[in-house]
Structure 1
Amino acid sequence: MMASPLRLLLIEDFEDDALIVLRELRRGGYDVTCTRVETAEALERALDTGPWDAIIADYALPRFDALAAFSLVQKRGLDIPFLIVSGQIGEDTAVAAMRAGVHDFLLKDRLGRLGPAVARELREAALRTERRKMQEQLLLSDRLASLGLLAASVAHEINNPLASLMANLEFVLNPDEGDGPVQASSLPAEQQQALRDCHLCAVRIRDIVRDIKVFSRTDDKQRGPLDVHRVLDSSLRMAWNHIFHRARIVKDYAAHAPVLGNEAPLGQVFLNLLVNAAQAIPEGHTTPQEIRVVTRQEGTSHVRVEIHDTGRGIPPELQDRIFDPFFTTKPAGVGTGLGLAICRRLVDELGGELGVKSALGQGTVFHLRLPTAHDVNGPRNSFTQG
């Protein structure tokens, strides 16, 4: 039977006792990679280099003890199986340690159950992790549903007065619609231009309202052929206020097949990635900075979408964590750490893939592979760029 790998953080000041612990774990079927520490400072440094599968601590050390070590682990919010071993200890102390949250307590002269105890706690930790993921997914779904209801309500309230505004502007601007009380052609040129500007702004508001209504349909799971360029353009309009004072937009659309998807979740993904790209770029120097939106055909089976930015980039050690729920590199109060977790879940539900490549000081590229809709309408289906 192949040994199970185990990354162990061992808090122990006696080399002989450390060797006994390692021997029992190997006897229990573990291939142990161990780091041994003896002080709080060394423990802090070791926790920075994690992750760790388990922590085993001697109860009393010359400058440190197991309960203080456990407190440091708890303060970091880490859920790592934590077991205490001791030569001699009273029952009251053992009970207090377990009540504090320590996962198990063993005597050094009775380490025969160390292997099974570690195996049990690893299983329990895995179950806790799975429960947390399920709770996080429920939280994400609830937040999306709430945001969708709010967006739909706001869009509906804006739509009615907007329709009246556009109708009146068109009535004034269109001289072929009869003798209205005011004809735009009879107004000074400056006032005619002002009315035309108002009409253009109203059209933009109408497009934004339409985009909000599309993005708010979070409960619509139906998938079908979709013009990915139209969804990208809609997301770019929604993100414009975040982008225009930071970078210029470059479109490089070359895909020609429709993707199989749903407009609302795909639009949410694009919008989040575009806003993230804008926030990675400092304000005030728009000309040299750009956000490039690229689409490419990958055979008949997939369309690739890339969102490039010339921002600060993501450190290599964080690139595997940015899709974790509630992990964020943004300052407190700026980000919740949910955006990219939501994006990955939505892309997975659409049958696609979402990944990232980044280098510090050179920018970031988020890339999506989306299945084409050739199974729905045939492999030669195509659409025009928006």
Structure 2
Amino acid sequence: MTAQRQRLRLLLIEDSSDDEELLLQELGTSGYDVSHTLVMTREELSRALEAGPWDAIISDYRLPGFTGLEAFSLVQQRGLDIPFLLVSGTIGEDTAVAAMKAGVHDFLLKDRLGRLGPALARELREAVVRAERRKMQEQLLLSDRLAALGMLAAGVAHEINNPLSSLLVHLDLALNPPEERQLHPEEAQVVRSAFECAVHIRDIVRDIKIFARPDSEQFGPTELHRVLDSVLRMAWHQVIHKARLVKDYQGSATVHGSEARLAQIFLNLVINAAQAIPEGQRDQQEIRVVTRPEVPDSIRVEIHDTGPGIPPELHERIFEPFFTTKPVGVGTGLGLSICRRIATEMGGHIGLKSQPGQGSLFWVLLRSAQGSS
């Protein structure tokens, strides 16, 4: 029985058709079913990296206009963790040492390609291990964040709810006294304002309590607009000085998910939108939250902002763990990767449309509760 061949999406950086044929032949002998793209210049490499994904990259050392180490540097600049093997006909010891110090996963001589298959297999396994390690780190950080936030929310609710309930009762009594003790109109207005403020505090506490729900909360029918309203109240202080906030809810929207997880996604997206907008000119800036039904059986949520926009080459990278465009010390680079993971767990999707100078639109596609049974 013939062993199944392992499929390999290979990016090959090579300027010799003879060497290209030898490398592909060796990979075929090693059991790989290779689909590859050949590039020879820095510009072709940049376009190919954008067009990925790739399972592995094999590069010659000497190339037209640049070197294999410079090619590896381009890969690193994009934050890609792809097995990168350097192959050369004449690579000296100093060059080999420099390559390994730079982080190249392995180097081989073209007259000893018998080691290519085993070396690539090893690096593919190591890449899987690294990816799993990053995933575990992300999940641990997510769990720690949710646990800390849950403890904070539970503590706030416990400390505030009892005195707040008493305050509301007394203010209500003050607003509705016996007829012989009617308040002066000015006094009644003061008490009414205090009562409205207390009600607002109660709503905020209820919003925060969403995050106190256990992480094991089961997914089920969830009223999307109620979650979004809670998120916008929590994010209000981040938005109010930056931009006008516009809500455009179309129809009713009950989705498959959980309040805590959905709130985490949208709070992250709204705060990111606010942080992207520069200070000043508040009246000319806008954050718009849109919901609308989408066929079949889905609800689409869009967070629009009028910030500076995001270059196309970063549209996927911003969802990678630990990648951030924010200044050092601002954010961990985990927010959007966690949002994508949560959306996927709920059977949804998240993505981005943006161009420099034209703002950004983050969209989340969620399963309608009516269509998820």
Q: Please give the range of the TM-score, normalised by the shorter of the 2 chains.
A: 0.7 to 0.9
Match of 1:330 in 2: 326
Alignment pair present for 1:33 and 2:35: no
Partner of 2:31: none
Tell me the distance in 2 between the aligned counterparts of 1:195 and 1:110. Answer: 87
Matches within 5 A, 1:9-28: 9=13, 21-28=19-26
Q: Partner of 2:175 in structure 1?
A: 173
User: Which digits, 9 at most, give the CA deviation of each residue in 1:205-231, with x for residues without a partner?
Assistant: 111111111122142422332221111
1:13-162 counterparts in 2 under 5 A? Answer: 21-28=19-26, 29=28, 30=34, 31=36, 33-35=38-40, 50=49, 53-54=56-57, 56=59, 79=81, 80-83=83-86, 103-104=105-106, 106-162=108-164
| Mapped partners of 1:93, 1:370: distance in 2 | 51
Match of 1:315 in 2: 311
Match of residue 233, structure 1, among 229, 242, 258: 229
**1:260 to 1:26, Cα distance in 2 relative to 1, 3 A:** closer
Of 321, 325, 347 in structure 2, the residue corresponding to residue 351 of structure 1 is 347
Cα distance change on mapping 1:198 and 1:283 into 2, 3 Å: farther
Give the distance between the partners of 1:106 and 1:299, measured in 2 at CA: 52
User: CA 1:2 to 1:324, structure 2 compared with 1: closer, same or farther past 3 Å?
Assistant: closer
Is the 1:24–1:112 contact (alpha carbons within 8 Å) kept by the matching residues of 2?
A: no
Cα-to-partner distance string for 1:237-280 (whole Å, 9 max, x where unaligned): 01100111111122222122422221111112121111112122
Q: 1:33 to 1:134 in 2, by over 3 A?
A: farther
Inter-partner Cα distance in structure 2 for 1:233 and 1:105:
56
1:283 paired to 2:279:
yes
RMSD, aligned α-carbons? 3.9
The equivalent residue for 1:373 is 369
Work out the CA distance in 1 between the residues paired with 2:261 and 2:70.
46
Q: Which one is further off, 97-106 or 148-157?
A: 97-106
- Asked if structure 1 preserves the Cα contact closer than 8 Å seen for 2:10 and 2:58, the reply is no
Distance 1:73 1:114 in 2: 20
Q: CA deviation at 1:81?
A: 3.1
* Bigger-Rg structure (1/2): 1
Shift of residue 87 of structure 1? 5.1
Tell me: CA distance 1:374–1:96, structure 2 relative to 1, closer, same or farther (3 Å). closer
CA distance in 2, matches of 1:222, 1:192: 46
Unaligned runs of 5+ in 2: 29-33
Aligned-partner Cα distance in 1 for 2:67–2:295: 61
Aligned letter for 1:165? L
Partner AA of 1:279 in structure 2: Q
Instruction: From the superposition, tell whether residues 110 and 325 of structure 1 become closer, same or farther in structure 2 (CA, over 3 Å).
Output: closer
What CA distance in whole angstroms lies between the structure 2 residues aligned with 1:36 and 1:289?
42
Q: Any gaps of 5 or more consecutive residues in structure 1?
A: 378-386
Query: Counterpart in 1 of 2:11?
Result: 7
CA distance in 2, matches of 1:299, 1:157: 45
Contact 1:303 1:371 in 2 (8 A): yes
- 1:164 counterpart letter in structure 2: S
Following TM superposition, by how much is the alpha carbon of 1:318 offset from its aligned partner in structure 2, in angstroms? 0.8
Post-superposition Cα deviations, 1:48-102, rounded to whole Å, max 9, x if no partner, equal 98477335566x99xx999999899889976443446575878x99899879976
| Structure 1 CA distance for aligned equivalents of residues 255 and 128 of structure 2 | 36
Tell me if 1:250 matches 2:254: no
- Superposition TM-score, scaled by structure 2 size: 0.78
Shift of 1:316: 1.0
In the alignment, is the contact (CA less than 8 A) between 1:300 and 1:374 conserved in 2? no
Equivalent residue pairs, number: 355
Q: Percent identity?
A: 58
In 1, distance between residues paired with 2:156 and 2:351?
33
